Structure 1
């Protein structure tokens, strides 16, 4: 990936993860249906009990491919499809060796870790700005579990 595509801000609009819970109950996070190899990678992702100082919450439906923390919830989905608006010239943000594609440019922002053998999507409500702090915490976990794609593939 060329450095010119990695910028601090986001350029594309797209799908926003719908989060239906703001209280202490289970957070509604749609479950993905990845292929078996992607599912195995995602199931190996060891996520923390606390993220950005927020306690982990149950998700509904319950799945090893989803997680949520705090209220309003920060939500994670592993094994999502490649974002439809992601192109070779898309603006990416690189944080600690993980390339992130952010969409939409308004709030909440959904970031997808790209150039990995499984896409990991993280939706960060405005309460947790700067959202990059959340991505900094998740980056080492993704890097340790989900291998990179061959050079130049996003």
Structure 2
């Protein structure tokens, strides 16, 4: 754990990322009715075809500014980007960034975030609420 101020400790982000990935792999064998699929990226978990892809510890999106809109879903704040064939959601206000790519085939896309919310909240502590 890292020291924040005298007597206060911050969670270790790497440990939380590993636990989030492990929990997602164990508990989320299916997502949106799709089975988990193998991926080569150690920081990713995926389901279905076309794949819904969750990545842990991603970089802050370039377009995520202090004025960017935050969309809360089940008490997890998300930054939304439209990408070719779907959406890219990235957590806001948490210890580390988690991204979820959701292809258009899985409309409404927010249902994916609802299914993942409890696991994200459990392993990626909120630092600043989405307002």
Superposed CA offset, 1:106-145 (max 9, x none)? 6321000111001000000000010000000001100011
Aligned to 2:88: 110
Using the size of structure 1 for normalisation, the TM-score is 0.70
Could you list the runs of 5+ residues in structure 1 that have no partner in the other structure? 1-36
Q: Tell me which stretches of 4 or more aligned residues in structure 1 moved more than 6 Å.
A: none
Superposed CA offset, 1:33-68 (max 9, x none)? xxxx4322111111111111110000014x1x2100
- Whose strand proportion is higher, 1 or 2? 2
Distance in 2 between residues matched to 1:88 and 1:105, nearest whole Å: 21
- Whose helix proportion is higher, 1 or 2? 2
Distance in 2 between residues matched to 1:58 and 1:117, nearest whole Å: 26
Among candidates 139, 145, 148, match of residue 117 of structure 2: 139
Could you list the runs of 5+ residues in structure 2 that have no partner in the other structure? 1-11
Q: Which has the higher contact order (CA 8 A, sep 6+)?
A: 1
Q: How much is the aligned-residue C-alpha RMSD, in angstroms?
A: 1.8
Distance in 2 between residues matched to 1:53 and 1:151, nearest whole Å: 30
**Cα 1:151–1:99, aligned 2, differ >3 Å: closer, same or farther?**
closer
1:51 correspondence with 2:31 = yes
Using the size of structure 2 for normalisation, the TM-score is 0.81
Count of residue correspondences: 115
